[in-house]
Amino acid sequence: MSAQNSAIPLPSVAVGGTVQAALGTLCFSFTFPATNWALHGLGPWTLTGLRGVLAGLLAAVCLFASGAKVPPRSAWPGLAAVVAGCVIGFPVLSTFALRISSTAHSAVVIGLLPLATATVAALRAGSRPPRAFWLAASVGAAAVLAFTVQQSHGAGLGTADLYLLGALLICAVGYAEGGRLSRTMPGWQVIAWSLVAALPVMAATGAFALAAEPAHWTWHSVTGLAYLGAVSQFGGFVVWYRGMAAIGVPRASQLQLAQPLLTLCWAVLLLAEPLPGTAVPTALAVVACIAVTQRAGSAARPAGS
């Protein structure tokens, strides 16, 4: 009984974890608008490489200043998944998607990420959320998918959607593995070591891309690049992984159901994109799903119990 109770987060820890996961969601909600800004002056490969370099250098400085030790070998496979999903895969695929799709449309497609993350976490970690959790998560995902189809006027999935679906699938693996590692090592070190490990690849990508793609250093491109490197690629992950470690991957992932709606707001305010008429009904459905999944997620139990 004591071992089982020790796995249940204290109320104060759960509240703090929820706040940090929500803050991570807020940070990530600006990622697509920042990418849109950066793409006004930088090519997709240049942007991907340079944001990785900036984040990697920042992470290296923080690791050195804190005297952090190299993670044990048992953590390397999980860190490799974070590198592949969160450091390289998602930035590359989402950047190419945003070249041919609006920020609003892309944000809604990525709204399927919470369900993908919860599914990966359940398969990888053996967590068993109750049926109500999966039902609410599925309804939230269905609402996001219906919104996407409505926005495409029934035309189905395009090239940008395929990029985004690939991005969310590989990112879900990175999220789940990062959340798992954050239970045994500081969350900020999970993303920091992943960024440092990817630094040579990002540096080579940025160097070759700068020679092949024209770069225009405008206020928007510099601001977008700076945000992507410092916040989307590093700072946001610090609070996000800490939140997942405190309240669990499935519950934390459902907070991201609010991310596409936040991004829609920033698309209107920062990019002057038109607000889809179905945004408000979708927002109400998403908020309801978050409430249900947060309540049901607290009843999750490990496999075999």
What's the pLDDT tens digit per position in 249-275?
777 777 877 888 888 889 989 999 887
**Mean of the pLDDT values across residues 62-82?**
93
Predicted model pTM: 0.83
The pLDDT of residue 279 is: 73
> Does 11 have pLDDT greater than 70?
no
CA atoms within 13 A on the CB side of 103: 27
User: Rounded to whole angstroms, how far apart are CA atoms 258 and 29?
Assistant: 9
The pLDDT of residue 305 is: 44
> Does 6 have pLDDT greater than 90?
no
Give the chain's mean pLDDT. 84
User: Rounded to whole angstroms, how far apart are CA atoms 104 and 95?
Assistant: 14
Mean pLDDT is lowest, of 101-115, 169-183, 278-292, for 278-292
The larger pLDDT score, comparing residue 154 to residue 173, is at 173
The pLDDT of residue 264 is: 84
